[in-house]
Structure 1
Amino acid sequence: MTALLFGSISTLADTSEIQRDSFNQAFKEHGLDWDWDQQEYAGLLGSNGGQDRVAAYAEARGETVDAAAVHATKSRIYQETLRSSTITARDGVAETFRAAKEQGLKVGLVTTTSADNLAALSDALGDTVPFDQFDVVVDQSKVAARKPDAEAYTFALQQLGEDASDVVAIEDNLGGVQSAKAAGVKVVAFPNGNTTGQDFGDTRRVDSVDLADLRQ
């Protein structure tokens, strides 16, 4: 193992409920009578990409909605909330990050969310998970296809100069797991509060991360 790749934002800090609440606030701002409770939201997380999720939901209801505008509002609210909240890293994340750097591993963050969302999370986590120490950061501006497409991971591997067989990824949702596997990267599922019910098949699941365990 020569590199460790964290997947979506919620592999670092579980912001999934902040995400859901931000969607609901955005719906109100746009005059929509939608309200995603936790069960419904969890059921919608089988696909990646919030804008696409809003568009698909509107289509299923036979409604016409400016999904891009709704998602932009959601993103603004989400970023504002992150920066005004006390955010903590998930169990073992900060320790694993430090240990990986100390042991000479390359560490990356491989998402298909926006750079603005990552900046807000970086501000919220501060020195707990120092983003300036990532060896590669992938966001939606750097790839053409969202997860579960493999592009985000193949791009990260190219930037790091690493072979997929020497890398381990940590992902919190099924689309992310599929993306890593499509790129040939070994992956561990680390579900968040809203993806814990997803079926990860034969992918190993963990409730916390530990570098020694990930090396196995």
Structure 2
Amino acid sequence: MTASSPRSEHTRTDTGSGDVPAAVLWDMDGTLVDTEPYWMASEVELVHSFGGTWTHDDGLLLVGLGLWNSAEILRSRGVAMEPDEIVEWLTDRVQQKLDADGVPWRPGARELLEALRERGVPTALVTMSVRRMAEQIVAQMPFDAFDVIVSGDEVDEPKPAPEPYLRAAELLGVDIRQTVAVEDSLVGLASAVAAGATTIGVPHIVPLPESEEHTLWPTLDGRTADDLFSVARARRGAATR
């Protein structure tokens, strides 16, 4: 699958109507999969290899950021490598952990995603990880999970800029205002909200604030497609009042 690949053929509901969003756009790390501990452990390993110190709180600063933005922060902490080299090194280490330990799915995420697909809802994976890692994780899904992938190495302005979500809507051929985005980080929320998507925040590593700009769910576990559709309807209703 490529970012510009045609959408898979599914039996579709009336997406984009008052009842069903035109698409659901998913963040990956921390939302679909619990890879943040893999990233944090890899960051510690990398900084320590150059004699520096990297704490859990330092790792929290990078949650949701584009990898090249993260690379610059790591360089400022003594990692004497070029940004591209840092991105490659970190991605390699996280992919090795995925191969060795398996894909740690977030509670309820696969189930909700599969339910949406069974209802014919178009979906996109919108991640700041690079494509090869996104494809590694998608390959572990036991069903046709995504119509398109937008990855961090394919955008000019990563999250928190709106470009990744706008790009996903463009590839799907839908109005971003008729979509729902699911995110776990402050950076991701900012990106999705700025793009114009109805946004659901599911906090994981980093707490998320209450806000009129997004809806907070404590977990995806037990959530249904109809629950998500209800959020979209409520947001559209609020926008018209």
**How does the TM-score come out when normalised to structure 2?**
0.76
User: What amino acid maps onto 2:55 in structure 1?
Assistant: D
Q: CA-to-partner distance for each residue in 1:133-162, whole Å, 9 max, x for gaps?
A: 311111124321111111111111111111
Instruction: Return the match for 1:8 from 21, 28, 45.
Output: 28
Structure 2 vs 1, CA of residues 9 and 205 (structure 1 numbering), >3 Å: closer, same or farther? same
Query: 1:157 aligned to 2:172?
Result: no
CA contact (8 A) 1:167 1:186 kept: yes
**75-84 or 47-56, which moves further after superposition?**
47-56
Instruction: Return the match for 2:218 from 183, 201, 207.
Output: 207
Q: CA-to-partner distance for each residue in 1:107-129, whole Å, 9 max, x for gaps?
A: 11112320122133235x442xx
- Secondary structure of residue in 2 paired with 1:10: coil
Aligned CA RMSD, in angstroms, stands at 2.2
Q: 2: CA distance between counterparts of 1:145 and 1:107?
A: 21
- Secondary structure of residue in 2 paired with 1:137: strand
User: What amino acid maps onto 1:92 in structure 2?
Assistant: G
Paired residue for 1:37?
A: 55
User: What amino acid maps onto 2:121 in structure 1?
Assistant: L
CA contact (8 A) 1:47 1:53 kept: no
Provide runs of 4+ in structure 1 moved above 4 Å: none
Identical residues among aligned pairs (%): 25
User: Deviation of residue 80 (structure 1)?
Assistant: 0.7
**206-215 or 146-155, which moves further after superposition?**
206-215
CA contact (8 A) 2:47 2:54 kept: no
Paired residue for 1:65?
A: 80
CA contact (8 A) 2:67 2:128 kept: no
**How does the TM-score come out when normalised to structure 1?**
0.84
CA contact (8 A) 2:203 2:219 kept: no
Q: 2: CA distance between counterparts of 1:100 and 1:126?
A: 14
In structure 1, stretches of 5+ residues that fail to align are none
Between Structure 1 and Structure 2, the one with more helix by share is 1
Structure 2 vs 1, CA of residues 200 and 111 (structure 1 numbering), >3 Å: closer, same or farther? farther
User: Deviation of residue 67 (structure 1)?
Assistant: 4.4
User: What amino acid maps onto 1:32 in structure 2?
Assistant: F
Structure 2 vs 1, CA of residues 105 and 83 (structure 1 numbering), >3 Å: closer, same or farther? same
Paired residue for 2:4?
A: none
Structure 2 vs 1, CA of residues 200 and 70 (structure 1 numbering), >3 Å: closer, same or farther? farther
In structure 2, stretches of 5+ residues that fail to align are 1-20, 231-241
Q: 2: CA distance between counterparts of 1:113 and 1:64?
A: 20
Query: 1:190 aligned to 2:202?
Result: yes
CA contact (8 A) 2:64 2:128 kept: no
CA contact (8 A) 2:176 2:195 kept: yes
CA contact (8 A) 1:11 1:170 kept: yes
